[in-house]
Homo-oligomer: A and B are copies of this chain.
Amino acid sequence: VTGETDAFGRPGPAILAVDPWAPGNPVKGEMRQLLTDEERAELAALTSVVRFKKGEKLFRSGERAHWIFNIVSGVVKTCAGDDERQIVAFLFPGDLSGLSSEGIYINSVQAITPVTAYQAPVAELRTRFANNARLRQHVIYKLFQELRRAQYHAVLLGQKTAVSKIATFLQMLEEHERSRGEHAGEIHMPMDRSDIADYVGMTLPAVSRTFAALIKRGVITSRDRRHVTITDLAAFEKMVAVGAARDAGLP
């Protein structure tokens, strides 16, 4: 294991999540690093660091689920089954990947930027689980988090108009950045238009048109294809699924 470090310069796997039960977080909706430095060091002993180039696959649906991955840097897309046109989630640093059923991966996961990740063998992780109640608790927290994100994704997909979908998508990204203190007034989209289309349930041309429409109406401005800024917040929020972000306890 090399000396891979996170954004705070600390080594070892990291799990970012909001506590599902404890009220009164310092900042509402802000995610915390759940693992202590000791736990991260302990887990680091099990794991190896792997790197993936943009476009490379971490694993495919149907393969034996030998590994759990923990994203350190970069972004990956999670596709349902092996159909790349069905994106069910984007994963960022601090997220876990490797969902399986009866020992078989049920997703295909692909890097959409250069990615660094920790890789832990499931078998050893399970024995480690047996001895570490706290770790299990943290995994539960993280799964709660993922469930909330999946629900919000469903809300997005349930929207009937293209502008609602794209606006909701942008709000997801903004809340995501905010929850990890990276909010800079500008929303960064690491994925390409085609990935956005597959995530929001639209075609690529429709996504392109919708961004153009939002810009034309003065709701957002775009520095380049991957950066947008919300310029008319009132109009923007009218387009977003009513109260969904707050109600869903994003992220």
Is the C-beta of A47 less than 8 angstroms from some C-beta in chain B?
no
For A101-117 the 0/1 string (1 means CB < 8 A from B) is 11110110000000000
Residues of B within 8 A of A122 (CB): 21
Is the C-beta of A35 less than 8 angstroms from some C-beta in chain B?
no
Q: What is the CA–CA distance of A86 and B158 in the complex, to the nearest angstrom?
A: 7
Among A132-140, A170-178, A216-224, A225-233, the stretch in contact with B: A132-140
Q: What is the CA–CA distance of A247 and B126 in the complex, to the nearest angstrom?
A: 24
Q: Which of A15-61 contact B (CB under 8 A)?
A: 18-25, 28-29, 61
Among A69-77, A188-196, A236-244, the stretch in contact with B: A236-244
Q: What is the CA–CA distance of A241 and B85 in the complex, to the nearest angstrom?
A: 11
With A21-B65, A154-B157 already in contact, 7 other A-B pairs whose C-beta atoms are closer than 8 Å: A18-B102, A20-B65, A80-B247, A81-B155, A81-B243, A99-B147, A146-B147
**Pairwise interchain contact B201-A247, C-beta atoms closer than 8 A:** no
A212 to chain B, nearest CB (A): 21
Q: Which of B20, B139, B241 is in CB contact (< 8 Å) with A140?
A: B139
Residues of B within 8 A of A158 (CB): 86, 157, 198, 201
Count this chain's copies in the assembly: 2
Residues of B within 8 A of A107 (CB): 151
For A142-181 the 0/1 string (1 means CB < 8 A from B) is 0110111011111101111000000000000000000000
Is the C-beta of A88 less than 8 angstroms from some C-beta in chain B?
yes
Residues of B within 8 A of A61 (CB): 247
Most chain B Cβ neighbours within 10 Å, of A21, A152, A160: A21
Q: Which of B89, B99, B154 is in CB contact (< 8 Å) with A20?
A: B99
Is the C-beta of A100 less than 8 angstroms from some C-beta in chain B?
yes
Residues of B within 8 A of A28 (CB): 102
**Pairwise interchain contact B20-A100, C-beta atoms closer than 8 A:** yes
**Pairwise interchain contact B103-A201, C-beta atoms closer than 8 A:** no
Determine the residue in chain B with the shortest Cβ distance to A18: B101
Residues of B within 8 A of A103 (CB): 20-23
